A and B are shown apart, each in its own frame.
Chain A
Amino acid sequence: MRRKPGTLVPLELAICDAAAALRRCGGDEFHGYEIAKALGDAADARLLTAYGTLYRALGRLEKMGVLRSRWEDPEIPARENRPGRRLYTLTALGETTLEEARLRSEAGARTRVRRRLAPA
Chain B
Amino acid sequence: MSPALAAAIGLVRGWTRLYTAGMEPDARTERCAEIDSDLWEFHEDARRRGATPTLLALHMALRLVLGIRHDLVWRAEQVRVRAPLVQKALWVTAAASVVLVWWLASTLQGVEAPRMAGINVMRLLYPIKPVASVPTPPLPPIEFARFNVRFVSLLPPPPPPPPPQPAWK
Contacts and interface: CB of A to CB of B under 8 A. Distances in A.
Interface of A: 31-34, 36-37, 47-56, 59, 71, 82-86
A37 B42 CA distance: 9
Contact of B70 (A31, A50, A86): A50
A9 to B, nearest CB: 12
A32 B34 contact: yes
A31 B41 CA distance: 10
Interface in B1-49: 12, 16, 30-31, 33-38, 40-42, 44-45
Interface size on B, as a range, is: 20 to 34
B74 A51 contact: no
Given A55-B34, A86-B37, A37 B64 contact: no
A84 B42 CA distance: 14
B80 interface: no
A119 to B, nearest CB: 45
A53 B71 CA distance: 7
Contacts of B74: 52, 55-56, 59
A47 B31 contact: no
Nearest to A46: B59
B67 to A, nearest CB: 3
B73 A56 contact: yes
Given A86-B30, A86-B33, A32 B38 contact: yes
Given A31-B41, A50-B62, A55-B35, 5 more contacts: A32-B34, A33-B41, A48-B42, A83-B37, A86-B37
